[in-house]
Amino acid sequence: MKKLLFIVILCLFTYAYSLATPLSIINGQWNGAQAGQSIKLLKTEQGVIKEIASSVLDENYKFNFAFISEKEGFYNIEYSLASVTYNHTFYFKPGDVLGVEVTNETYVLTGENTPENLELARWYEFILPIKEEAVYFFNKNSTFVDFFPLFEGKLTEFSSYKPQYTQNKVFTEKFQSYQKFDVLFNAILFVMSPRSAHPQSKDYPAYYREINIPELTQTAALLEYPFCHIILNSLFYVKNLVNGVPVSRPSTTIESDLSYIANDTLKGEFVIIRSTSVRTYEGIEEYLQKYGKYLITDSQKQRMTLKETELANQVAAGQKAIDFQFPDLEGKEISLSDFKGKVVYVDLWATWCVYCIKEFPALKQLEEAYSLNSDLIFLSVSVDASKDKQKWADFVRKEDLKGIQLFAGDAANSALMKPYHVTGIPRFILIGKDGNLILGNAPRPSSDEIRTVLDAALK
């Protein structure tokens, strides 16, 4: 294995030399992971997280990357693509070397490192107390009562926070933006994640009330932050929470929300983000007639064209739905096939999934609207890890979730995710009375399309 790695790195060095571009190197160790697990190297480009390379942990939990960083900027290493947990940001110029030892949510630099990454490590140590409550809140009972004072204390410290390294002007400018967005991201994620108690409008600190969307979106700098889409998609939701405004369906507020976004490129990204709720080809064509004019970059146009193609090729009906069987809250095993003769609207979700939880109010409204129709079954399946089964049960009871609630646990990947080609949640699946698949990626409860789709299936 080591011999093979040496050969690969040697080849990359030769290739880089031929291009007169020195290789950047990462020598790392990821404690707390499993040997054989894949670590990803990611780069955010124009708001899109792209996988640059992957490295399999050896028996000593070590991993290595050798890559060409043609332009200096931020890179991330993490367990899995696009996850907000176990994800760490570093900075590379061509030829930079990083030594790092990770223990899931924390890390320490090892050996000689660049001043940029020393600065980032210092920042991570500063922000970690907030991140532990906002991102790594599993098995904790943190609420706004303890988080808001902690957050305000950190904001006071942040006002006098000075970088120790300022010689690299490019890094200094990017780092200032990164810090601002990192604070904002953690502030947003905290109030959008499941808690045992949630703040009322009067409880929010001044920071939340003073979030200035036009100012934050003056430039496209946000697109260099790894979780820029979460921020852009959540700003308006948080704004409504803080002001005590009832949350509306995203599709009804697009025009209003776009008026707050100053930068044209960010407007295009926002249109891309909001298009995720559209699940039919007819729906995306109508959506583009209204908002296609905001797509101005080649990347935005290509991504939307890909979505159009996927929806155009989507299997509409006829394919036999793959059966599955999982326990409910009482431990009774329930199968999809038990509902033959009914239309089944399946919700794949998890207690840690912010966007899954955002759909619950709309889902409850949908369940109420169709409560007298015995031909429609609402079937929710949790894909939480098996170790979190009690957490799931407590969450279902606390949130008073309706419909049929099942727990897939660790079997979700083989029984659901792979057969139905699910790469992310929330995912909704619609199955007809004949047991055949109608839509493998059905509209969300908050979408404009869902009632039309359900009514058609019930005919």
Per residue in 115-146, pLDDT (tens digit) is 999 999 999 999 999 999 999 887 777 899 99
Both tokens of 16, joined, read: 């880089």
**152, pLDDT greater than 80:** yes
**Percent of residues, the chain, with pLDDT higher than 90:** 70
DSSP letters for 14-80:
HHHHHTT-PPEEEEEEEETS-TTPEEEEEEEETTEEEEEEEEE--TTSEEEEEE--SS-EEEEEESS
Instruction: State residue 17's pLDDT score.
Output: 47
**Percent of residues, the chain, with pLDDT higher than 70:** 93
Instruction: State residue 54's pLDDT score.
Output: 93
Instruction: State residue 130's pLDDT score.
Output: 96
Task: Go through 161-179 and write b for each residue having 16 or more CB atoms within 10 A of its CB, e for each that does not.
Answer: eeeebeebeebeebbeebb
Amino acid at 137: F
Mean per-residue pLDDT of the chain: 90
Q: Helices 144-158 and 115-134: crossing angle, nearest 10°?
A: 160
* Per-residue pLDDT tens digits for 240-267: 999 988 877 777 889 999 999 999 999 9
Instruction: State residue 320's pLDDT score.
Output: 82
- Give the up-direction half-sphere exposure of residue 243: CA atoms within 13 A in the CB hemisphere: 11
Both tokens of 216, joined, read: 């934050």
Q: 126 — alpha (psi -120 to 50), left (phi > 0) or beta?
A: alpha
Instruction: State residue 318's pLDDT score.
Output: 61
- Domains recognised in the chain with CATH numbers: 1-113 (2.60.40), 325-458 (3.40.30.10)
* pTM confidence score: 0.75
- Per-residue confidence band for 80, with pLDDT thresholds at 50, 70 and 90: low
Decide the pairing of beta strands 87-92 and 73-78: antiparallel
Cβ–Cβ under 8 Å, residues 28 and 75: no
- Return the DSSP state at 444: P
- Per-residue confidence band for 16, with pLDDT thresholds at 50, 70 and 90: very low
Rg (Cα) of the chain, in Å, rounded?
Answer: 23
Q: Find, among 73, 92, 134, 97, the residue nearest to 13 by Cα.
A: 97
Instruction: State residue 207's pLDDT score.
Output: 97
Q: Which segment of 103-117, 205-219, 313-327, 348-362 scores lowest on mean pLDDT?
A: 313-327
CA distance 159 to 12: 43
Task: Go through 70-108 and write b for each residue having 16 or more CB atoms within 10 A of its CB, e for each that does not.
Answer: eebbbbbbbbeebebebbbbbbbbeebbbbbbbeebbbe
Q: Which segment of 52-61, 349-358, 387-396 scores lowest on mean pLDDT?
A: 349-358
Decide the pairing of beta strands 24-31 and 97-103: parallel
